[in-house]
């Protein structure tokens, strides 16, 4: 069974026979794509390709689940459906690898932030585009890790992605539909087709899917070559008028991989060109000028803030080192109240980073604990100071935001074990693919009411 918490609970349950989950922890609800009909490739020939891996609670790499493209040493462009909840904790990128099983041969880099397009729709896979901000820069001096430039709307108007244009795509893909992912990076080329042709093909094969203006379909009528399950987010690229590769698409979705009249569908990069530029600020000269300087980029505050066991979950603040020196520590000051003019509580804490941030490096930092006074609408302000212990003047280091502080409602269960001698009940978070609580009941608990004391944020859970 499933349920959605519309208010905050102090805990709930799972009958031991819950629906199965994937052993590698990757959610299986997205149209992941990989290459069919490709050939082995070398990363140095397509150095913008990166792999996205899931990580365990200790930050160790688990499974490669998606691809992406380097568009800047600090930015990766990928598909929105490739980005997991809390991607800064649950995923890392690996650059400069040809073999999927050898991530240690490449550059493994933490994600500090992620931006999913606000129009992303999981049902019809529209606006399937996202940006990953990296904590540390990719070393683009290496032959196997270079950025690729974006194809512009003007170039699209000039026919660079016109139907019939041959486009190239890469990924660690299966060579047979339903088989295993490839060990070696794969490459293949596909002709771009019109939206009308793609929709006609899907209609003729009884696939009730619409290809829309933000998508770029590719494929052969007879099939045989395609992206397929497992490597969404990877690049589709074409040659520009200087014979240089430009990023035209992001591997997004398809129906029957490499089937007859079954195009692979990519997110159309020129359609989202302005969105990508405005959120990543590509091409904008934003370089450090002071020796020590820390920037408060943005706050990530949940819709409902709640307290559990004297801890308040405010969310995170995205911190960027805008100094010329590596950033090792700074002070964070948290203020709460009913408004900017009515601050009632102030707490400060010195943050010492386990790994220093280089210039322009960034990291999401958990906002220190402080309890708001009242349930309901509140205000929080976070200020940064003293980078590397230096009491220097920092402009625009303070950001404020209103939030809703929610009370806690306990969940009370009445349990009748009937003929059972023992029952184990568990709560499982659907969004995070993890167990949130576990309780065991014996026969003498029959008919009793039980109140659980673990906090759950608003979300969807299995019992």
* pLDDT category of residue 126 using cuts at 50, 70 and 90: very high
Give the catalytic positions in this structure. Answer: 81, 128, 232
pLDDT tens track for 376-408: 899 999 999 999 999 987 877 888 999 998 866
Q: Are 153 and 273 in contact (CB under 8 A)?
A: yes
Mean pLDDT of 288-299: 93
Residues 6+ positions from 123 with CB-CB distance below 8 Å: none
The yes or no reply on domain 294-405 and CATH 2.60.40.10 is yes
* pLDDT category of residue 4 using cuts at 50, 70 and 90: very low
What is the pTM (predicted TM-score) of this model?
0.83
Mean pLDDT of 249-277: 90
* Residue 305 pLDDT > 90: no
The yes or no reply on domain 41-284 and CATH 2.40.10.10 is yes
* Distances, alpha carbon 196 to alpha carbons 66, 121, 179, 386, in Å: 28, 21, 31, 58
Q: What pLDDT sits at residue 19?
A: 23
Mean pLDDT of 294-300: 94
Mean pLDDT of 282-297: 88
Pairing of the two strands 39-40 and 342-357? unpaired
* Residues forming beta bridges with residue 415, ordered by sequence position: 448
Location of each CATH 2.60.40.10 domain in the chain: 294-405
Q: What pLDDT sits at residue 137?
A: 97
Mean pLDDT of 143-172: 96
Of 38-52, 158-172, 336-350, 364-378, the range with the lowest mean pLDDT is: 364-378
What distance in Å separates the CA atoms of residue 433 and residue 411, rounded to the nearest whole number? 22
Location of each CATH 2.40.10.10 domain in the chain: 41-284
What distance in Å separates the CA atoms of residue 134 and residue 233, rounded to the nearest whole number? 16
For the chain, report the end-to-end CA distance as a whole number of angstroms: 6
* Helices first, then strands: H and E counts in the chain: 4, 32
């Amino acid at each position: 069974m499933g349920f959605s918490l519309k208010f905050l609970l102090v805990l709930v349950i799972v009958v031991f026979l819950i629906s199965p989950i994937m052993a590698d922890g990757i959610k299986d609800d997205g149209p992941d794509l990989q290459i069919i009909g490709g050939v082995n490739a070398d990363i140095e020939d397509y150095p913008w390709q990166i792999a996205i891996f899931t990580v365990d609670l200790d930050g160790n790499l688990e499974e490669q689940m998606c691809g992406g493209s380097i568009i800047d040493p600090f930015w990766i462009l990928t598909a929105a459906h490739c980005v997991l909840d809390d991607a800064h904790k649950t995923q890392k990128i690996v650059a400069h690898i040809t073999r999927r099983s050898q991530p240690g041969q490449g550059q493994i880099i933490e994600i500090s932030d992620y931006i999913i397009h606000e129009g992303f729709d999981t049902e019809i896979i529209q606006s399937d585009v996202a940006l990953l901000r990296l904590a540390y820069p990719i070393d683009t001096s290496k032959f196997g890790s270079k950025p690729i430039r974006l194809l512009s709307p003007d170039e699209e108007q000039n026919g660079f992605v016109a139907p019939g244009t041959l486009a190239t795509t890469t990924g660690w893909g299966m060579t047979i539909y339903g088989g295993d992912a490839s060990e070696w990076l794969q490459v293949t080329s596909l002709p771009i087709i019109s939206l009308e042709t793609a929709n006609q093909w899907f209609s003729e094969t009884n696939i009730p899917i619409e290809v829309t203006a933000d998508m770029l379909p590719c494929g052969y009528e007879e099939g045989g070559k395609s992206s397929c399950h497992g490597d969404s987010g990877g690049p589709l690229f074409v040659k520009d008028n200087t014979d240089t590769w430009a990023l035209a698409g992001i591997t997004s979705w398809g129906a029957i991989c490499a089937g007859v009249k079954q195009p692979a569908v990519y997110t159309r990069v020129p359609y989202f060109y302005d969105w990508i530029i405005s959120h990543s600020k590509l091409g904008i000269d934003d370089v450090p000028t002071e020796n020590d300087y820390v920037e408060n980029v943005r706050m990530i505050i949940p819709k409902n803030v709640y307290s559990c066991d004297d801890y308040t979950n405010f969310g995170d603040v995205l911190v960027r080192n805008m100094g010329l020196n590596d950033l090792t520590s700074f002070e964070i000051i948290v203020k709460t109240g009913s408004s900017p003019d009515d601050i009632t509580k102030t707490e400060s804490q010195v943050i010492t980073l386990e790994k220093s941030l280089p210039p322009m490096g960034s990291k999401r930092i958990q906002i220190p604990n402080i309890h708001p006074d009242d349930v309901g609408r509140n205000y929080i302000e976070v200020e940064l100071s003293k980078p590397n212990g230096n009491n220097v003047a920092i402009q625009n280091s303070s950001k404020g935001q209103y939030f809703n502080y929610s009370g806690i409602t306990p969940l009370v269960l009445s349990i009748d074990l009937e003929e059972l001698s023992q029952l184990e009940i568990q709560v499982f978070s659907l969004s995070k693919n993890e167990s949130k609580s576990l309780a065991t009941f014996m026969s003498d608990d029959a008919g009793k009411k039980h109140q659980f004391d673990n906090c759950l944020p608003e979300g969807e859970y299995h019992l």
